[in-house]
Amino acid sequence: MTSRDGAFVLTDEFADVLDRLHRGESLFLTGRAGTGKSTLIREFLATTDRNVVVVATTGIGALDAGGQTVHNLFSFGADVTVEQVRSDKYFPYRSAEALRRLDTLVIDEVSMLRADLFDCLAIALERFGPRRGHPLGGVQLVLVGDLFQLPPMVLDGEKDFFATRYESPYFFSADCYAYERFPTVELTRIFRQVGDVRLLEILDAVRSGTVGPRLLSELNARTDSRFGPPVDEFWLTLTMTDRSATRRNLEQLDRLAGPEIRHQATESGELEGFSPPTDAELVYKIGAQIMLLTDDPLGRWVDGTIGQVCAHRLEGIEPVVTVALPSGAQVTVRPHTWEMKKPVTDGCRLRSEVVGTFTQLPFELAWAVTIHKSQGQTLDKLVIDLTGDGRLYVALSRSTSMDGVVLQRPVDVEDLKTDPRVREFLRQRRPSTTSRGVIHLGV
């Protein structure tokens, strides 16, 4: 993991995984939230001499991973099918030369990777990778994610297809997924929730489907349907839908006195497949609660820090916003430029080339945010709105302690359910007297 001064700390389990990655082994790297999966991949990228491309299943995930989406890399349409990728009409026009030079493909957020999309990219690699005609084109494929996080998105009109075509919508049900080719490596040492034994115990129980009366009672003791977050305590409501988050944010914004402040983003180049991290037209007021969306080079805030707008001014045409942080510090925030990149060849090497930019103030309104947009973030004070599909584990895994959690309604049996197909897959891939090629790394 990283130490307080930002240096990488090589634990025994990190060393083992890095050794396998540097040897070119394909694998499925998993572990619950806070075990350092992303940190480990960043260290691999910084120390390898292989030609590596990082992709994610969503635009938000691609920004976090510093890469691009699966669809963008392979020039897939939104409704791509296996038949299309097998046909002579398919060609990865955006990245054909990069795929030919590719050594390693890292797929982040793999819990959201659908089985049919895995088959599509596997076939594309076989056709256009460095070793054409070989499985995955001879490319090392590194799958990264926690299967108990957000699942693949299957629309109502696609459910019949998946029910008859695949055993599940998850990547491990794909035709091209071979268990022996992807040993499961599970990180077990948790860094994010260090010190809160109660939260760790509850997360473990929710994952394994073993929440008993004692833990259920402890969870529901955090219920307060009338909870009104104190203005100065920076509580964030996690919702299940964009609509709920937007409604709450606009309601809270309307309650603030003073005029609205608007800032329009600037864009350049090619942004196809790019998901802006915040609104193109950002609307806020003095007193607005916001979430910062970048890591400060000076370490004063990180992506996901909650703050409050306390001043605004213009320097020329550039907006400068003063933000109060939970620590009491006030910091100056200026526009940030996010880059859309694609891999290009430079002789025999791959490098990233910026093809588009999006410049905006790096924050969004944050009285509420969706669980999906909070992916990978660590949040201190959460109000969890369990409407519809509760995703209790996903919401709790964003927190640092049970003392910083409030439930808007009691937890029920439906909230505690996890997908039995995921549990069975992980059970089969863990070490046993008959299992091979699986490593369970402990501390």
Tokens of 58: 């969503």
- Concatenate the DSSP letters of all residues of 277-294 into one string: SS-SEEEE-TT-EEEE-S
Degrees to nearest 5, angle at CA 110 with 96 and 95: 10
For 129, the 3-state DSSP assignment is coil
**pTM for this model (two decimals):** 0.84
The tens digit of pLDDT for each residue in 32-55 reads 877 889 889 999 999 999 999 999
Which of 101-105, 162-166, 205-209 holds the top average pLDDT? 101-105
Instruction: Check: CB of residue 360 under 8 Å from CB of residue 160.
Output: no
Dihedral (CA of 424, 425, 429, 434) sign: positive
pLDDT band at residue 63, thresholds of 50, 70 and 90? low
Give CA–CA dist 178/104, Å, rounded. Answer: 17
pLDDT at 427 over 80: yes
Domain made up of 12-191+420-440: CATH architecture: 3-Layer(aba) Sandwich (3.40)
pLDDT band at residue 341, thresholds of 50, 70 and 90? confident
Which pLDDT score, from 0 to 100, does residue 192 have? Answer: 56
Which of 169-178, 191-200, 376-385 holds the top average pLDDT? 169-178
The tens digit of pLDDT for each residue in 90-124 reads 999 989 999 999 999 999 999 999 999 999 999 99
Q: Where in the chain is the domain with CATH 3.40.50.300?
A: 12-191+420-440
The tens digit of pLDDT for each residue in 356-367 reads 899 999 999 999
Q: How far apart are the first and last CA of the chain?
A: 14
pLDDT band at residue 439, thresholds of 50, 70 and 90? very low
Percent of all residues in the chain with a pLDDT value above 70, rounded to a whole number = 91
Which pLDDT score, from 0 to 100, does residue 36 have? Answer: 86
Give CA–CA dist 269/162, Å, rounded. Answer: 37
Percent of all residues in the chain with a pLDDT value above 90, rounded to a whole number = 55
Give CA–CA dist 120/57, Å, rounded. Answer: 13
Tokens of 183: 């040993």
Which pLDDT score, from 0 to 100, does residue 5 have? Answer: 47
Which pLDDT score, from 0 to 100, does residue 433 have? Answer: 30
Which pLDDT score, from 0 to 100, does residue 441 have? Answer: 40
Which pLDDT score, from 0 to 100, does residue 134 have? Answer: 96
pLDDT at 412 over 80: yes
Which of 173-182, 270-279, 428-437 holds the top average pLDDT? 173-182
For residues 314-332, one letter each, b for 16 or more C-beta atoms within 10 angstroms of the residue's C-beta and e for the rest, the string is: eeeeebebbbbbeeeeebe
pLDDT at 330 over 90: yes
